Amino acid sequence: MNAEIAYQWRKQLVWGLLMIALGCAFLLERAGYIDFDIDITRLWRYWPWLAVISGVTQLIPPTSPKYILGGLGSLFTAGWWYVSFNRIWGWGFEDTWPAVIIAFGVGLLLRPLLDNAYAAVKEQK
């Protein structure tokens, strides 16, 4: 199985399970078994968790450098957005934008290192 197929299966599994859990939770709420006290206007603040889920599906198990960097990028973006939007530590977008440049540079440095590491592993097989 190549890395692309493994990633697609993993992605479908995670998102499928998430949708089933979400649907079951809403169905139980509608049936009166559980009570959600959700303020929709505040719920959208937590969308970065979707990027975290996406990043984790790309990282576990690591199948290629492309997916590792994509997963790390998703995790960074989610964390950066959450910190900036909610002004955690008093930092907003105007304070944290240099972190995006740093993260991009780290990604540029990691790509050749990961490519070499995966090439060495393939040679050993």
Q: pLDDT tens digits, residue range 1-22?
A: 566 677 677 777 877 888 888 8
Over range 20-29, report the average pLDDT. Answer: 84
Helix (H) or strand (E) holding 60: none
Q: How many helices (H) and strands (E) does the chain have?
A: 5, 0
Residue 56 has pLDDT above 80, yes or no: yes
pLDDT bracket for residue 31 (50, 70, 90): confident
The answer to whether 59 and 73 are in contact (CB under 8 A) is no
* pTM score: 0.62
Nearest to 71 by CA among 114, 35, 39: 114
Contacts 24+ apart (CB under 8 A), 100-108: 103/73, 103/76, 107/69, 107/72, 107/73
Q: pLDDT tens digits, residue range 65-104?
A: 888 888 888 889 988 988 888 888 888 888 888 888 999 8
Q: Residue 3: what pLDDT?
A: 65
Nearest to 17 by CA among 57, 55, 47, 46: 57
